Amino acid sequence: MTANPVYNFSPGPAQLPGAVMARVQEEFLDWHGHGVSIVEMSHRSRAFTGIAEQSVRDLSALLDIPDNYKILFLQGGATHMMSMAPLNLCNGSGTADYLVTGNWSKKAAGEAARLTGMNVAATSAATNFTAIPDPAEWRLSEQPSYLYFCDNETIAGVEFQSAPELPDGYEDTVLVSDMTSNFLSRPVPVARYGLIFAGAQKNIAPAGLTIVLVREDLLGRARPDVPFLYDLKLLAEHGSMFNTPPVFNWYMAGLTFAWVREQGGVEQMHRNALLRSGKLYEFIDNNDFYSNPVAATCRSRMNVSFILADSSLDGRFLAEAAHNGLIELKGHRSVGGMRASMYNGMPETGAHTLVDFMADFAARYG
């Protein structure tokens, strides 16, 4: 008898593609007849450098990354980049502008304020981060070193629908974006950005790896006192191997890139994300038992938050959902309610199963 599937709606570490996980299991003890596991393999061996080079080619093809960008696979998490962005792009002077639309951009702005001049160009704190401020209300610095934003805020579920449109006179402003929670989920006009980074634990691989895309002309701007492992130019010069990289995570990222290409690329990932999230949003909007507080113009395709009409039923909802194989649906402690995170590894059946459960729960308790 086959066990019922479990759908993991965790915001991260998140459900990864089943085919990738099965491939890892198959290869774990003996990678391609080498007699050793990938986790035992030297990062400078011919075998691993082949894995690394192929992953760079695959990612470059998936996002159509221009030749004047470096692709880095770095240790740690995207939170490191909250420090690395100002340390590498503000050499002791200038101001960095920040759009604060949720917890992660708020945290990044706070870190930048410790390290350089920082200006909050706009914030949606007044709406409890359930919207993106109108660009007409942004107050950019006269000549910002860069404009930073988080492309998808996981806690409330707010997502930029496209790269920010900058006002006249700011066309050449460097865009810096944290794309941790929606990386590889849709096409990205990389050439419009100076720096893109993404922690792996949503759409790519286990936590502990951060992927960085940086325009070459921005390298070499770091402060002279920047720690060497925070210097993007040094890391790029050594092909992400100044020290031992997270080889297992890099290997898994490569498998995921290949899987995305086999599925039809980021264009298909985008279609899948719209189907999953659209199914859930449509149900929520047409059922008085549930509600979503986020402005319709910036609802996330990755993280769908929702609130029950009777919050005293939250515990029962979570318990019954878990009993039915729908796990990690509890909302962030700062906002409460529920949150269904549906990254690339979530099959469409997961969204359908969740909606069916929600309909049944509302019928019984509404």
Active-site residue (options: 97, 178, 231, 259): 178
Q: Work out the number of other CB atoms within 10 angstroms of the CB of residue 362.
A: 18
Among residues 70, 97, 104, 151, the one annotated as catalytic is 104
Strand partners, 158: 153, 299
Q: Is the dihedral of CA 333, 335, 339, 343 positive or negative?
A: negative
What Å distances lie between residue 209 and 119, 122, 138, CA to CA? 29, 30, 33
Q: Select from 271, 247, 188 the least CA-distant residue to 52.
A: 247
The DSSP string of 253-319 is HHHHHHHHHHHTHHHHHHHHHHHHHHHHHHHHHT-TTEE--S-GGGB-SSEEEEEESSGGGHHHHHH
250 CB neighbour count, 10 Å cutoff: 25
- What sign results for the dihedral spanned by CA atoms 161, 181, 126, 304? positive
Active site residue 178: yes
**Distance between CA 255 and CA 269 in Å, rounded?**
16
C-alpha to C-alpha distance for 334 and 155, rounded to whole angstroms: 8
Q: Which position among 202, 231, 250, 259 bears the catalytic label?
A: 202
Angstrom distance (rounded) from CA 98 to CA 86: 11
What number of other Cβ atoms are within 10 A of residue 67's Cβ?
Answer: 6
Annotated catalytic residues are 104, 178, 202
